[in-house]
A and B are shown apart, each in its own frame.
Chain A
């Protein structure tokens, strides 16, 4: 039986009717037409679908849309503001934190929660922190740098160099 749900997504309140079996990722992509949230697997492993629900990073392929009733959701479309890119987006951009970009929305939202709880994470904490997000392109090093850049910017510190390093 279909049920009505109301969610706040990227600051906007949306009401819709869903089947209980509809996954939150499909709801966001197909019903709300916000296709920045990606689906990369069928086994809850890849993290491409990561979004924030009430500030917590979760895999939206492993939550029902109906469970999000009354909740606040942030997707990649909600990161930038009229003032420009979010520091995490700027970090990925300047540090070449992406190649194909498939994992990027999930990586960024996971990083936002990580930095909210731990504003100055060590490299190891960053790597553990993104252990639920797979990237098949970058080799992760530039993703780590992007998150370090965003952390520094959000702490109001001098920004690390974004010159490419050859090792």
Chain B
């Protein structure tokens, strides 16, 4: 199967890319790793008349810590996250997620920016970003704006990124000491999208009381979902098995999964609960380590 005809440009600077986006408006699509967009174009679910390939723009791929943030360039490939020493030593939640995303070939191409900008609740990074309270930097010819992750996902395949804008960076506040995080998804086979997925980040204060909690859910709602009630159930508490079990139950109650080939609603709710419980425990172990 081949995509419908389109025209194509591969600008070498962000400025040229912005000019092309302005010229073509919402007829244009940005091509990053292409591993969500091209499959959709092959199936003719998407038929943009112009592609702006941003792979040749230098400076959009990096992983570094500065000014209190972990900063990840939008064009950083999944494989680069997977093999980064900084990520595996300090942010194991990404290592948990990266190796569950698709397969090695897809990870050689797919970018973290594309994973978020696609706006698909089945993708894995959105839940991770919700748990870590990320901010998304979106750029245009008019400058930059910073969008908190809670204001980023609008609806099915819809995000805060406007047709004249390019997502350029993801910023994650560097968590304080005694923070732990973890992600897991239930999948039918290696590389499948999640039946259910849960990301958790926790910070413990003195006396082991939970001071911060972030919980994001994958594929359990039409948009990537924050399990707010579960977070509140943890904050200010000592994380006993009973407290954790109650928070997990709340995630199962609050999510809105839809029945599909991966399972019916009841099953997915049950899995949301199980995974939330397990990921809280894993994040807690890492916070204590």
Give 1 or 0 for each of A21-60: 1 = CB within 8 Å of chain B CB: 1110010000000000000001111010010000011110
Q: Are B102 and A42 within 8 A (Cβ)?
A: no
Give 1 or 0 for each of B30-58: 1 = CB within 8 Å of chain A CB: 01001100110111000000010101000
In the assembled complex, how far is the CB of residue A66 from the closest CB belonging to chain B, in whole angstroms? 6
B5: interface (CB < 8 Å): yes
- Residues in B with CB closer than 8 Å to A66 are 8, 10
Query: Which residues in window 87-137 of B have CB below 8 A to A?
Result: 99, 102-106, 108-109
In the assembled complex, how far is the CB of residue A48 from the closest CB belonging to chain B, in whole angstroms? 11
A128: interface (CB < 8 Å): yes
Q: Are B106 and A44 within 8 A (Cβ)?
A: yes
Q: Are A132 and B2 within 8 A (Cβ)?
A: no
- Residues in A with CB closer than 8 Å to B38 are 23, 44, 62-64
* Residue in A57, A110, A131 whose beta carbon sits within 8 Å of that of B190 in the complex: A131
Complex Cα distance A3/B2, Å? Answer: 17
Q: Are B109 and A42 within 8 A (Cβ)?
A: no
In the assembled complex, how far is the CB of residue B279 from the closest CB belonging to chain A, in whole angstroms? 21
A1: interface (CB < 8 Å): yes
Main secondary structure of the interface of A (DSSP, over half): mixed
Q: Are B104 and A57 within 8 A (Cβ)?
A: yes
- Residues in B with CB closer than 8 Å to A19 are 5
Complex Cα distance A84/B84, Å? Answer: 37
Q: Are A22 and B2 within 8 A (Cβ)?
A: yes
- Residues in B with CB closer than 8 Å to A15 are none
- Residues in A with CB closer than 8 Å to B10 are 66-67, 69
Complex Cα distance A67/B55, Å? Answer: 9
Among A21, A66, A113, chain B packs the most CB atoms within 10 A around the CB of A21
Contacts A58-B108, A63-B38; is A21 near B103 (CB within 8 Å)?
A: no
B173: interface (CB < 8 Å): no
In the assembled complex, how far is the CB of residue A74 from the closest CB belonging to chain B, in whole angstroms? 14
Complex Cα distance A48/B288, Å? Answer: 45
In the assembled complex, how far is the CB of residue A17 from the closest CB belonging to chain B, in whole angstroms? 13
Complex Cα distance A63/B106, Å? Answer: 11
In the assembled complex, how far is the CB of residue A15 from the closest CB belonging to chain B, in whole angstroms? 17
The total of chain A residues at the interface (CB under 8 A) is 33
- Residues in A with CB closer than 8 Å to B31 are 64, 67
- Residues in A with CB closer than 8 Å to B42 are 23, 42, 61
Q: Are B5 and A132 within 8 A (Cβ)?
A: no
A20: interface (CB < 8 Å): yes
A101: interface (CB < 8 Å): no
Complex Cα distance A7/B174, Å? Answer: 43
- Residues in A with CB closer than 8 Å to B208 are none
Give 1 or 0 for each of A126-148: 1 = CB within 8 Å of chain B CB: 00110111000000000000000
In the assembled complex, how far is the CB of residue A10 from the closest CB belonging to chain B, in whole angstroms? 19
- Residues in A with CB closer than 8 Å to B4 are 21
Q: Are B103 and A131 within 8 A (Cβ)?
A: yes
Complex Cα distance A21/B46, Å? Answer: 13
* Residue in B6, B34, B79, B99 whose beta carbon sits within 8 Å of that of A21 in the complex: B6
Residue ID in chain A nearest B190 by CB atoms: A131
Complex Cα distance A9/B109, Å? Answer: 20
Q: Are A47 and B105 within 8 A (Cβ)?
A: yes
Q: Are A57 and B108 within 8 A (Cβ)?
A: yes
B205: interface (CB < 8 Å): no
Contacts A43-B39, A67-B53; is A56 near B8 (CB within 8 Å)?
A: no
Q: Are B105 and A132 within 8 A (Cβ)?
A: yes
Given A58-B108, A132-B191, output 11 extra A-B contacts at Cβ < 8 Å.
A1-B7, A20-B6, A20-B51, A21-B5, A42-B43, A44-B35, A47-B105, A50-B105, A62-B35, A64-B8, A131-B191
B interface residues, Cβ below 8 angstroms from A = 1-8, 10, 31, 34-35, 38-39, 41-43, 51, 53, 55, 79, 99, 102-106, 108-109, 190-191
Please name the 9 residue pairs, one residue from A and one from B, whose CB atoms are nearest each other, closest first.
A132-B103, A20-B8, A131-B190, A132-B105, A21-B3, A56-B108, A42-B1, A131-B103, A59-B105
